[in-house]
Structure 1
Amino acid sequence: MHKRSSFFQSIKSFFSLKHIAVLLALLIMILVAVLVGYFIGVHQIRSEVERKDEQTRLLMGQIKNIAKIDGDYTDKSIVMSKKQEDEIHRLKKELREILDRQSLNASHEYAPKDKKALPPAPEPKVPRPTKEGDAKLVIIMDDVSYAHDVKSIRSVGLPLVMSFLPPSHRHGDSALLARDVNGYMVHLPLEAVDFESEEDVTLRVGDSKEMINGQIQKIKKLYPNVRYINNHTGSKFTADEEAMDRLISVMKTNGLIFVDSRTTAQSKAKTVDSKYGIRYLGRDVFLDHHDGVENIKKQIREAVATAKRNGSAIAIGHPRPDTLQALKESKDVLSEVKLVGIDKI
């Protein structure tokens, strides 16, 4: 009897040890997986941080170079050569462009603190299917400010509509650049709910009709061929019916048409247009609210599908490398519609 009891205890002990070994093996596997995932994640984060740090170092280096040269330049005992003066101008211009590009982002205005947020939906439309190839699509390139913007947009080889920001201390030549562009628009800065990098002159909700008229007169003088104006930012301004009434009435008097960028779903542009008997024009698709060539190509397909479904559509993008590359790679899709100017829809 004693031997039988010992035998069963041995079996029980054996199975207990086996189970413990299996559990330990499983725990080790899980621990290894967690550690591998952790180190892969840390490596990716470290790579991203290092990339950002390198960008910051380059930017700070440029700032220091400009500060140093400016310091020498203000010292009257030092005579600057033409080459040194040109270098000051070049560095200042380059820094302004870098800083400006950091602040101009497709998703910055409607969701400045949520990079994953989708853009506001377009105004609903009644479907108007067209014959194959007859659908019209307008692609507006916003934030055009520099010569390299114009050059890069033209390099795509498609009839894209350029919308120029009014001149500011960051991009003083934008109006001059528009002189050689056919069918351009003006990208009018309007007050946002939450946006840090405002343009020098941004119309605000409380601005009087006289103030708005003064700004519109300046724009007409700077851009004598302008007919269409769309809003840069403007989530606060376009959501205010009284402010939009003042703006659209002034624009109508001056023979200008407002194109709603739809930076907010609460836009009152359509309501005010209806009051003045104006046909509403609004953005249907943002092409580059999220970065990445494949993301933008998906939005291009959405813009084409929208144009086919409704007879016409308006898409908005920006002269950024990913957007331009996506457009170049989407010419076969875009050939399914007619790319036209804003005046042709």
Structure 2
Amino acid sequence: MGFRQAEGELAHERKETQKLVQEIKQLTVIDDNTSLQKPKESLQDSEIRRLKKELEDLLARERISEEVKPEHEYAPNNKKAPPPPPPERPIRPAGGEAKLVIIMDDVSYARDVKAIQSTGLPLVMSFLPPSPRHPDSAFLAKQQGKYMIHLPLEAVAFHEEEPNTLHVDSSEEEIEKRLEMLKQLYPNARYINNHTGSKFTSDSAAMDKLIRVMKQEGLQFVDSRTIASSKAREATAKYGMRYMTRDVFLDDRDGVANIKKQIREAVSKAKRYGTIIAIGHPRVDTIRALSESKELLREVQLVGIDQI
């Protein structure tokens, strides 16, 4: 099951939505033009409520099924903004291996997992914590064995933040409780990268608290680098931890051709610097571009985050 099947599922949900709309219209017409007894009206009202609830659920799923735009990570108010550049990297020694990690962010639904698996590539899934919109994300992660946590952190400007997002004014105790809960939900997780977080990661005090707690919990931070002024490097250095950061966004622009160009960039950088981290999203174009780039990706070692 890949991106074409995911598109089919969305089409099916739209048909179901249209069907429910018609049923509700018919029931509403009956309600307006008949003189039913009170008990029957009550039953009809109950049926209308049930159908409306079903319709709301379908519409919610349809909205969620629309493609995630990667700009929400670094520039939600400027769709043409390029992602922040990666920090300077030393050139890899001659003869060293070229390794590429591809993290797929925002994994939340079974369709995301199936689409990623359809590529046949060892991609790293980073799961958003469970929420009312995607309650099964932790369950899906546990089925994978290895995975990451995509931790929501406060952004400079983002109006659709996830529940339980950590903010710059979150206390160390709040951060501890959040990470302890996430460790229970994701027992095999050892790596965390940030979901949004441009405001949080650029705040020295906030990052100091987060990295200190992560070290205590045995967790490694991977900087999605949603802002050029990220303080993740300084915070990890202070606590004797390795600094790991995103080097390339694969799908910061729409279109299969653009994403293939970014995949080529990631492969080129892996050869130049030795180890590279790229980030993409389980979008239709991204899945297709990765599936069609297998020959190119054979030029490097495609590895897990724990192998660099």
Q: TM-score normalized by structure 2?
A: 0.84
User: Residue 248 of structure 1 contacts residue 258 of structure 1 at CA under 8 Å; is this kept in 2?
Assistant: yes
Structure 1 partner of 2:179 = 216
Matched, 1:112 2:107: no
Q: Does 120-129 or 272-281 show the bigger shift?
A: 120-129
Q: How many residues align?
A: 281
Equivalent of 1:262 in 212, 220, 225: 225
- Bigger CA radius of gyration: 1
Mapped pair 1:312 → 2:275: yes
Aligned Cα root-mean-square deviation (Å)? 2.8
> Where do 1:86-125 residues align within 5 Å?
91-102=55-66, 104-125=68-89
- Over the matched positions of the two proteins, sequence identity in percent amounts to 57
Counterpart-to-counterpart distance in 1, 2:142 and 2:178: 19
Q: Is structure 2 residue 109 aligned with structure 1 residue 143?
A: no
The answer for the alignment partner of 2:266 in structure 1 is 303
Quote the residue 1:251 is aligned against: 214
Determine the C-alpha separation between the residues in 2 that align with 1:67 and 1:184: 42
Q: Which is bigger in relative contact order (C-alpha 8 A, separation at least 6)?
A: 2
Aligned to 1:340: 303
SS in 2 for 1:327: helix
Is 2:250 the partner of 1:287?
yes
Contact 2:267-2:300 within 8 A present in 1 as well: yes
Does residue 1:233 correspond to 2:199, yes or no?
A: no
Cα distance in 2, alignment partners of residues 332 and 139 from structure 1: 16
Q: Give the distance between the partners of 1:196 and 1:67, measured in 2 at CA.
A: 34
1:279-299 C-alpha deviation (Å, 9 max, x unpaired): 100000000010100000000
C-alpha distance in 2 between matches for 1:344 and 1:239: 28
Q: Tell me the alpha carbon deviations over residues 205-242 of structure 1, each in whole angstroms, 9 at most, x when there is no partner.
A: 00000001111011001111110000000000000010
Aligned equivalents of 1:92 and 1:129: distance in 2? Answer: 57
1:193-204 matches, cutoff 5 A: 193-204=156-167
Answer yes or no: is the 8 Å Cα contact 1:130–1:308 preserved in 2: no
State the Cα distance separating 1:102 from its structure 2 match: 4.6
State TM-score, norm by structure 1.
0.75
Asked whether the 8 Å contact 1:192–1:236 carries over to 2, the reply is: yes
- Residues 68 and 238 of structure 1: is their aligned pair in 2 closer, same or farther, counting only changes over 3 Å? farther
Counterpart position of 2:43: 77
Distance in 2 between residues matched to 1:244 and 1:192, nearest whole Å: 13
Deviation at 1:67, TM superposition (A): 11
Residue by residue over 1:299-323, the C-alpha shift from the partner in whole angstroms, topping out at 9 and shown as x without a partner, is 0000001111111100000000000
**Are the structure 2 counterparts of residues 186 and 214 from structure 1 closer, same or farther at C-alpha, using a change threshold of 3 Å?**
same
1:92 and 1:174, CA in 2 relative to 1: closer, same or farther beyond 3 A? farther
Is the CA contact 2:108–2:128 (under 8 Å) kept in the aligned structure 1? Answer: yes
- Residues 320/276 of structure 1: CA separation in 2 closer, same or farther (3 Å cut): same
1:271 to 209, 214, 234: 234
Contact 1:130 1:311 in 2 (8 A): no
CA–CA distance in structure 1, aligned partners of residues 21 and 169 of structure 2:
41
Matched, 1:131 2:98: no
For residues 174-223 of structure 1, the C-alpha deviation after alignment (integer angstroms, 9 at most, x for no partner) is 01111111320000000000011110110000000000111101100111
Q: Is the 8 A contact 1:161 1:342 kept in 2?
A: yes
Determine if contact 2:153/2:165 at 8 Å carries over to the other structure: yes
The corresponding residue for 2:35 is none
1:163–1:186 contact (8 Å) kept in structure 2? yes
* Distance of aligned partners of 1:334 and 1:103 in 2 relative to their CA distance in 1, 3 Å threshold: closer
Structure 1 residues 66 and 238: alpha-carbon distance in aligned structure 2, compared to 1, 3 A threshold? farther
